[in-house]
Amino acid sequence: MAAWGISDQKIPQGRLALFSYVSVVVVVSLLVGFWKLQVVQSGHYADLAERNRIRYIPIIAPRGTMLDREGRVLVDSYPSFSILLLRDDPKALQKSLPQIEEGLAISKEDLHQQLEAARNEPKFQPIVIKPAATEADIAFVESHRADLPLLELMMVQRRRYPHGQMLANTIGYVGEVSPQEMEKNPDRYRPGDIVGKAGLERQYNDQIVGTDGMRRVVVNSVGKVIRTLDNVEAIPGKPIQLTIDEDLQQIAEADFANKEGALVAMDARTGEVLAMVSRPTFDPNDFAIRIPQPEWTTLNTDPQTPLLNRAIQAQLAPGSVFKVVMSTAMLESKAISPNYTAYCPGSAVFYGRVFHCDHAHGVVNLHKGIVASCDVFFYNVGKLLGIDRISYYARGLGLGQRTGIDLPSEQAGLVPSEEWSERVNHHKWYPGSTISVAIGQGAVMTTPVQLARMIVAVASGGTLIPPHLLKNAPELKSGSFPISDDTVQQVTDGMWGVVNEPDGTTSGLVKLQNVDFSGKTGTAQVEGFELQNKLGKKLKENGWFVGYAPRRNPEIVVAALVQAGGWGSTSAAPIVRDVVKAYYDKKAGHFLPPPSTAQNVALPGPARPLAPAAGVQRP
Amino acid sequence: MRERPQTQDFDWVLLGIVALISGMGLLEIYSATHASPMAGMHWKQLTWIGIGLAGMFLISRIDYHTLLDQAPALYVFGIACLVIVLVMGYSRLGARRWISLGGANLQVSELMKLIIILALARYFTEVHTERLTLADMVKVGILTLVPVGLILKQPDLGTAMVLVPVAVIGALLAGVEWKHLAVGVVLMALLLPFGWHMRHHLKPYQQQRIQTFLHPEEDQRGAGYQILQSEIAVGSGGFWGKGFGKGSQNQLGFVPVRYSDFILAALAEEQGFIGVCFVLLLYLGLILRLVDNAQKAKDKAGMFIVMGVTAILGFHVLVNASMVIGYMPVTGIPLPLMSYGGSATAFVFLALGLVMNVRMRRFVN
């Protein structure tokens, strides 16, 4: 046997015993470690384990629908699926990308960009790679559950605007809640919540927004849902009924095809808005899905401002429509005799400057001044009244201030006065400027909805109706600016003449049978040189027509603005006539509704045209 | 006294403890995997235990003196195998650690554990003195560090580290001079963090291996994710545990490799502090029983073999349990007899075979 085999060497019993004691100490220390975690801090860790295990999935409540005055659907919501990409496992992710690109028809660049954008987000938070999944996309995800566990479907509620561009500027659009909005309402909004961003969607957001439900689910370590614990159902948002009449709206929209401008039609007794148009416009369906940044930039920076609601936001010279205010001021102020006449040779000189008229009208009294829209007559009236009298009546009739319509961002327009000149321009009012204001040019600026209300006020003896879009709106009070019966008589006779007398500015072109249709034309020069330069073209005059019927105590009023439309009588007046005619046709029961523009956008295709993935052949 | 060593002289108490631990392991492997695509793993583990028992029986029949006779040859053979693995081994999960042997993939480093026990036992027995000289220490160091280096290159930090305690415990028992011990402790203190540092900065693929092997999310969810998940599992288990098959951290996969390296975390979650006490006390019983066998060994050679086995098993338990509660970094050292793993389980039984071997022969003339 080898030398090492000697067995007489003593076993070091002491050291072995020491080893045993050390082992006991080590095991006891380990147990102390476990004790600390499992007994001392067990509550804390139990909490963390629950947070690991349970995930809260919001059940999105659909927003309330918007109906027209007869209950027809203008806006609704539909359930749709978004496709989520889980990013927990970067290796599997990289491997699956080509398959995902092909299966969901997402371009490589797009997907890469989305992943890049979410690079700093926590990896366990999935990203939405396709906000609006098509049926084919859903089928793809469902059939690849096993080999592509990175894809998940999430049900969302999406806004649908069946009529596309119709009433778009008034309805507005929805979008993801902004950080600022969240800061204001920290309890209400979570990131990614959809809120109204403009128009009625924003105005009545609180009414139509529902209460999201919540699903508590158990997830595994890669975020896959294992089972549902409980469900709190979503409470859908309440529907709202609008004062809009879809029939009148469609008539007006059709007339505005390829035109720029705005229209407001109101019930002249209540202020209910029956139709509201603004052009150019946009399709709010584009916002209901995720609007691609370039498109958003285009919409926002377009010099034609398609997102603006011109019916309440365009502040423009009213042109001759303002002569209604002038006439009222002349008669009510009693500063000038009601029988005052002026001679119109086709132009006149005031303060050393020549002011033109359309043509030589000869001797003109108030009636002829309104009917033929003689500028020289009103130049003289303006000079005799002075800016502050004009300003008083213009403001009294609701110009230069918001009408209080239930839409965000209404503009006030501007009625100049001596005080205004000193405050804003820091100089005294030039009397010469009054001459321009007298025919609705110069500093005076109005919105279409203001002009509609103004005309109604004059024709009804001073009732300032409250324009509004929500049917059954609570507690709406009319304003009052009493006008004497005599004045109403004379001015409305003039406006009746504009439409019905042979020398009226509309030349009898917009007469309506059996309807006491009246109104006032306007053709306003465009002052915005900057805009003209931007558009690179010389703008034609803006055409206005504000019409109403019947001639006293009207039922309906329609204000139309056709920008760069030239003469109000030929551009705007026919549109107003069409709407008023449709209103009476409906009333008489022989209205033929135009073909509906509603389209089925239930399962919209891709939000934008998608380039086929590079190098991939698809049938 | 008997004429020949007999199986009835096996340490049945020790085997009883081993059976209890293995049983706990099988239950927890079942609980951790039954609802996953890996279901059925406990049967595979049971098979390995069976193979291990057979191996234990076989190795106990060969007189350990004969084995020690062959120790130098075995050592050379083991080193050669390690080199072969490095050159042409079967690579899995970024580490060259396996060689294919008749269909089964064997982890050569596990074999090296057995060989180093025998090699060092022989060396320490041959020294013949109560005091190790510096030259002895250097030789022991070289004998140990050559395989350690080769295993590190695989890379397998865990198994490489496991060889060191065999030398340390052996040296302590053989008789270390206090000054050598002091120098050794200082060197260790300096080398360990350096090695850890190397792992992080000089060998990214090594780090990658551990990440990939344990859980792919580590880097994505931030450092310490695995440790945190393990701690959550342990802590949320509380005193009594959540119940068999009811640990959410375990069942939903939050605990990384819950059937292997982190099986103690899975057990702690489902069986609570009570279960952990039971298991750790079983391990303490195992260690104490092994030390008892060492104390009663017929000769020093037997004692060194038994204590080599004890050193390795004790080190495994200490490092693994510490890792699970976040006291030590993740190194990929499994819990012997409980963690799922063929080669590791086979090693434990073969090592216990050596212990039985020593024990049986104390009753023989």
Task: For residue B89, give the DSSP letter.
Answer: P
Chosen domain end from A241, A268, A296 = A241
The mean-pLDDT minimum among A225-234, A245-254, B37-46, B83-92 falls in B83-92
Report the Cα A127 to chain-centroid distance in Å. 28
Mark yes or no for CB contact A30/B307 under 8 Å: no
Mark yes or no for CB contact B220/A26 under 8 Å: no
Q: Could you tell me if residue A120 is inside a domain? A: yes
Residues A319 and A443 in one domain: yes
- What pLDDT, on a 0 to 100 scale, did the predictor assign at position A124? 61
Look at residues A420, A334, A320, A325 and name the one whose alpha carbon lies nearest to residue A373: A320
| Whole-number Cα distances in Å, A202 to A148, A174, B219 | 39, 8, 43
Q: Could you tell me if residue A604 is inside a domain? A: no
Which of B253, B273, B300 shows the shortest C-beta gap to A34?
B273
Q: Is the Cβ of B227 closer than 8 Å to some Cβ of chain A?
A: no
- What pLDDT, on a 0 to 100 scale, did the predictor assign at position B88? 72
Q: Could you tell me if residue A16 is inside a domain? A: no
Residues A228 and A251 in one domain: no
- What pLDDT, on a 0 to 100 scale, did the predictor assign at position A86? 78
Mark yes or no for CB contact B234/A38 under 8 Å: yes
Residues A265 and A215 in one domain: no
- What pLDDT, on a 0 to 100 scale, did the predictor assign at position A307? 87
Which of B320 and A591 is assigned the larger pLDDT? B320
Residue A457 neighbours by CB under 8 Å, 6+ apart: A397, A398, A463, A464, A465, A481, A483
- What pLDDT, on a 0 to 100 scale, did the predictor assign at position A156? 80
- What pLDDT, on a 0 to 100 scale, did the predictor assign at position B95? 59
Which of B268, B294, B298 shows the shortest C-beta gap to A34?
B268
Mark yes or no for CB contact A90/B234 under 8 Å: no
Which of B217, B287, B303 shows the shortest C-beta gap to A23?
B287
Q: How far is A102 from chain B (nearest CA, A)?
A: 26
- What pLDDT, on a 0 to 100 scale, did the predictor assign at position B131? 80
Burial of A150 (C-beta count, 10 Å sphere; 0-12/13-18/19+): buried
Say if CB B308 and CB B169 are below 8 A apart.
yes
Which of B65, B128, B295 shows the shortest C-beta gap to A13?
B295
Residues A100 and A213 in one domain: yes
Look at residues A455, A466, A462, A521 and name the one whose alpha carbon lies nearest to residue A492: A455
Say if CB B283 and CB B312 are below 8 A apart.
no
Structural domain containing residue A546: 246-286+308-588
Using CA coordinates, name the residue in chain A closest to B216.
A89
Q: How many domains does chain A have?
A: 2
Mark yes or no for CB contact B301/A4 under 8 Å: yes
Residues A178 and A265 in one domain: no
Q: Is the Cβ of B362 closer than 8 Å to some Cβ of chain A?
A: no
Q: Could you tell me if residue A226 is inside a domain? A: yes
- What pLDDT, on a 0 to 100 scale, did the predictor assign at position B99? 63
Residues A66 and A158 in one domain: yes
- What pLDDT, on a 0 to 100 scale, did the predictor assign at position A605? 36
Residues A250 and A145 in one domain: no
The CATH number covering residue A116 comes to 3.90.1310.10
List the end-to-end C-alpha distance of chain B, in Å, as a whole number: 7
Residues A60 and A147 in one domain: yes
Residues A230 and A359 in one domain: no
The CATH number covering residue A568 comes to 3.40.710.10
Mark yes or no for CB contact A30/B280 under 8 Å: yes
Q: Where are the domains of chain B?
A: 24-363
Q: Is the Cβ of A146 closer than 8 Å to some Cβ of chain B?
A: no
If contacts are CB pairs under 8 Å, which of residues 14-43 in chain A contact chain B?
Answer: 15-17, 19-20, 23-24, 26-27, 30-31, 33-39, 41-42
Predicted-complex ipTM score: 0.89
Q: In A, which residues are within 8 Å of B327 by CB distance? A: 33
Q: Could you tell me if residue A272 is inside a domain? A: yes
Q: Which residues make beta-bridge pairs with A519?
A: A547
If contacts are CB pairs under 8 Å, which of residues 46-65 in chain A contact chain B?
Answer: 46, 48-50, 52-53
Q: Which token pair is A355?
A: 């002011």
Q: How far is B174 from chain A (nearest CA, A)?
A: 8
The ranges of chain A with pLDDT < 50 are 1-5, 7, 601-619
- What pLDDT, on a 0 to 100 scale, did the predictor assign at position A615? 30
- Residue length of chain B: 365
Residues A196 and A271 in one domain: no
Residues A257 and A195 in one domain: no
* Dihedral Cα A120, A124, A129, A132, nearest 10 deg: -130
Q: Could you tell me if residue A19 is inside a domain? A: no
- pLDDT(B52) > 90: yes
- What pLDDT, on a 0 to 100 scale, did the predictor assign at position B347? 93
Please give the angle made by the CA atoms of B46, B52 and B57, to the nearest 5 degrees.
135
Residue B272 neighbours by CB under 8 Å, 6+ apart: A38, B237, B238, B239, B240, B241, B242
Residues A258 and A195 in one domain: no
Q: Could you tell me if residue A594 is inside a domain? A: no
Q: Which token pair is A250?
A: 């469609």
pLDDT tens across B253-280, in order?
888 888 888 999 999 999 999 999 999 9
- What pLDDT, on a 0 to 100 scale, did the predictor assign at position A83? 86
